[in-house]
Copies of this chain bind each other. A is one copy, B any other.
Amino acid sequence: MTPPPTDPTVGELSEGAILGRILARLGGSDALVGPGDDAAVLAAPDGRVVATTDTLVHGPDFRLAWSSGYDLGWKAAAVNLADIAAMGARPTALLVALAMPNDTRASFVEQVAEGLRAACDALAPGCAVEGGDLTVSDTLTIAVTALGSLDGRAPILRSGARAGNVVAVAGRLGAAGRGLAILFDRFRDAAGEPVRVDHDALGDDDAAALAAQLRPTPPIVDGMAAADAGATAMMDVSDGLVLDASRMAAASGVTIDIDSAELGAGPAAALTGGEDHALLAAFPSADALPEGFRVIGRVVERGSHAVLVDGAAYAGPGGWDPYRDWDAHGG
């Protein structure tokens, strides 16, 4: 289908014209200085700012046959908001660096902006895009930086889990990984290339899994609630529960024992599925759990494995073990 003449490519527009289309879709700004100057100025009410950055690259991280511009904007916001939430902080602003091929349609860029805004409005009200950068690239890339405020709370690190703590999760585990498997299994052509998703052909469960992959809804407000409830450690589950729990265990010098019976109907998917963007946290006791969290295990003294599943070493995929395999700090 030939695009209508009202949908030029970004190569046919000036940077100012593209920016105008984006800004028109980002909504208002509560920043002290919002978009349009050399830099934004944001309130950091308690004298600290939380900052994280995460990039989605066409190819490894998303495919245009599978993700709309709206999906891409939403996911780029959501995965960064989750990292702010994982510190116990409230997201306050996004900065978005968008690198695009010249033949990208303006309507696609507008959808990205709409997805960014919608994710902020839905997941972290009060947070908005306050700055950014537009560049040309052969590879469509969106690099988002999220900023947040702890509002007087202590940041919740990965390193604070202690033996005797309970381990709990907020958000879904395994669905996003299942959504990716659906894309790979059912929406590729004979050559293995992605083809458009026929959303109408999906049952409710599959549609939910696909949504978890393409447009994740991490439990942002639950991160602040966990901090208020005395969480001793917290992190975003982005690479699968076993792998991320092993990182928390390594940082804390403990072993985390996961009870697979608490992982629902598909414990294997929950243990290893990536891109959940759930929150994994340790709490002093099961009595103190805030709404949104459910117990999935416990912290024990450091043993020979970082993570146990039902008391035993986990041998399945994703059973990477920092006590055995770690070759550098930081993960």
Contact = CB atoms under 8 A, between A and B. Distances in A.
A275 to B, nearest CB: 13
Name, among A17, A50, A61, the residue most crowded by chain B CB atoms within 10 Å (CB to CB): A50
A240 interface: no
A191 to B, nearest CB: 18
Contacts of A99: 55, 57, 139, 141, 143
Given A17-B327, A130-B51, A328-B14, A87 B137 contact: no
Each complex incorporates copies of this chain amounting to: 2
Contacts of A20: 327-331
Interface residues of A, number: 78
A286 interface: no
Nearest to A235: B38
B53 A326 contact: no
A39 B52 contact: yes
A199 B51 CA distance: 39
A127 to B, nearest CB: 13
A32 interface: yes
A32 B183 CA distance: 41
Contacts of A39: 50-52, 83-84, 86-87, 89, 146, 148
Contact of A138 (B43, B84, B138): B138
18 contacts: A16-B327, A16-B328, A16-B330, A18-B331, A36-B251, A37-B158, A38-B234, A39-B52, A39-B83, A40-B52, A41-B87, A41-B155, A51-B95, A54-B133, A57-B99, A60-B136, A99-B139, A143-B143
